[in-house]
Structure 1
Amino acid sequence: MTTASRPTLQDYLKLCKLKVVALIMLTAIVGMFMSVPGLPPMDLVIFGSIGIALASSSAAVFNHVVDQRIDNIMGRTKDRPMPKGKVNTKQAIIFGVIVGIIGIGTLVVFVNLLTAILTFFALIGYAVIYTMYLKRATPQNIVIGGAAGAAPPILGWTAITNSVDVGALLLFLIVFIWTPPHFWALAIHRHEEYAKVDVPMLPVTHGIPFTRLQILLYTIILVIVTIVPYLIGMCGLVYLTGAIVLGGGFLYYAIQMLRRPENSKLPMKTFGYSINYLMALFVILLVDHYFPLHLNQLV
């Protein structure tokens, strides 16, 4: 590996995993708007978004630092800036620390201390506990570590209300349950690479058929959990309809993966659908929040 000298802005941005951060920020921003009946204060939305986005980017940078050895081996990640020698370890660590400090500092100064503390723990949970330990220690890595990735809706909620309420916990639970079937679909597609670098992903340790079954079971649980916001009166029929339709699509892919193991394209199709699923579900949450439709309006 060559020694990096002058990384470009694009190299640093690639370390931040902007596509992942964008999905994270969608769930966080929806959490902000869901936390109050009307519109939340725009200054809190702006500074909360900046702080959470920078902290998430910092966690992504440290993920690159810790995983640079296996990233150099796996086909999916070998073109990242660090394996390519465009950014060295020292440069990445300095960049990650600066971005993280600015992000947490923004939350402390302009938002509230609770959000800053929770965001810091989410950063540590992903960058240290998951990436440095869980990922290499147990096939349940993505289940346990998924708590850090599911935190953004809570962070968005607390940025506005300075409290953790039932609604925030429900949004957290949706992302938490969504994470294993989402990531295991990718892990099935890349199971040979994970085996090569000794990362005990579920398809490697327990086999692909077992992982397909787990994806289906988690998807069933996910569909049930996504109906709870409607059952407790948090959302209306717009959301319920969307959740059932989107959940039906996810179940279709999960069942097809179990029934058609010979179809090598299904895991990545399921992975792709899972991303669109979460994005669409949270957008529908937002639409329903401001344009609610309840049964008592129809009678």
Structure 2
Amino acid sequence: MSMAQSMGRVNTLLATLSCYYELCKPRVVALMVFTAWVGMFLAEPGTFPLRVFVFGSLGIALMASSAAAVNHVVDRRIDARMNRTQARPIPSGELGPGRCIAFAVAMGLVGLATLLLWTNLLTAVLTTLSLIGYAFIYTLYLKRATPQNIVIGGAAGATPPLLGWTAVTGHVDPYAL
């Protein structure tokens, strides 16, 4: 294999990884994780286990990324018609919907396992409900059914501080809401 062929393969791999990264909506997910951190620090103003911080953040990020990838798959036909979104990985043809669904499922399952094994059941359940709320209820139904979709669907986007709180405390109380 020549150096040019090797570089071509590396460039192709990097382009593919970049597409998968874009599927995750990293800026949105980063904001969600940041607000989960706020919930964590409000729950325990002093200190809390590093394990909860690391694995709670990771599990929430993976499940939010999974929901974002599902959103890309569901909206691929609409995205193909809009100037702002037609360069996204699926409408541009860089990634196929089947691979994106497999990627979303894998991230969701790893995120769920992370929360179950190293955080707690309540955070895993609430994060799963948030994923379902965004990826399916908001994306599949509300977005197309009512102009109030962002108001109603905003509940899924508003859960990260609660998820951070429950990751640290293992329960919901009035201060978390």
After superposing on structure 2, the runs of 4+ consecutive aligned residues of structure 1 that deviate more than 2 Å are none
Query: Which residues of 2 match residues 44-123 of structure 1 at below 5 A?
Result: 44-123=52-131
Residues in 2 aligned to 1:32 and 1:40: alpha-carbon distance in whole angstroms: 8
TM-score if structure 1 supplies the norm length?
Answer: 0.54
Residues in 1 aligned to 2:18 and 2:103: alpha-carbon distance in whole angstroms: 13
Q: Is 1:34–2:42 an aligned residue pair?
A: yes
Aligned length: 165
Q: Quickly say closer, same or farther: Cα 1:33–1:138, change in 2 above 3 A.
A: same
Which sections of structure 1, spanning at least 5 residues, go unmatched? 170-299
SS in structure 2 of the partner of residue 58 of structure 1:
helix
Which sections of structure 2, spanning at least 5 residues, go unmatched? 1-11
Residues in 1 aligned to 2:39 and 2:84: alpha-carbon distance in whole angstroms: 31
CA RMSD across the alignment: 1.3
Larger-gyration structure (1/2): 1
How big is each residue's C-alpha offset from its partner over 1:118-166, in whole Å with a ceiling of 9 and x where there is no partner?
0000000000000000000011111110000101110010000001122
Partner amino acid, structure 1, of 2:102 = I
Deviation at 1:77, TM superposition (A): 1.0
Identical counterparts, % of pairs: 59
TM-score if structure 2 supplies the norm length?
Answer: 0.90
Partner amino acid, structure 1, of 2:173 = D
Larger relative contact order (C-alpha < 8 A, sep ≥ 6)?
Answer: 2
Residues in 2 aligned to 1:83 and 1:29: alpha-carbon distance in whole angstroms: 34
SS in structure 2 of the partner of residue 84 of structure 1:
coil
Deviation at 1:78, TM superposition (A): 1.1
How big is each residue's C-alpha offset from its partner over 1:24-51, in whole Å with a ceiling of 9 and x where there is no partner?
1110011111101311211101000000
Greater CA drift, 32-41 or 132-141: 32-41
Query: Which residues of 2 match residues 214-229 of structure 1 at below 5 A?
Result: none
Among 22, 26, 30, which residue is 1:22 paired with? 30
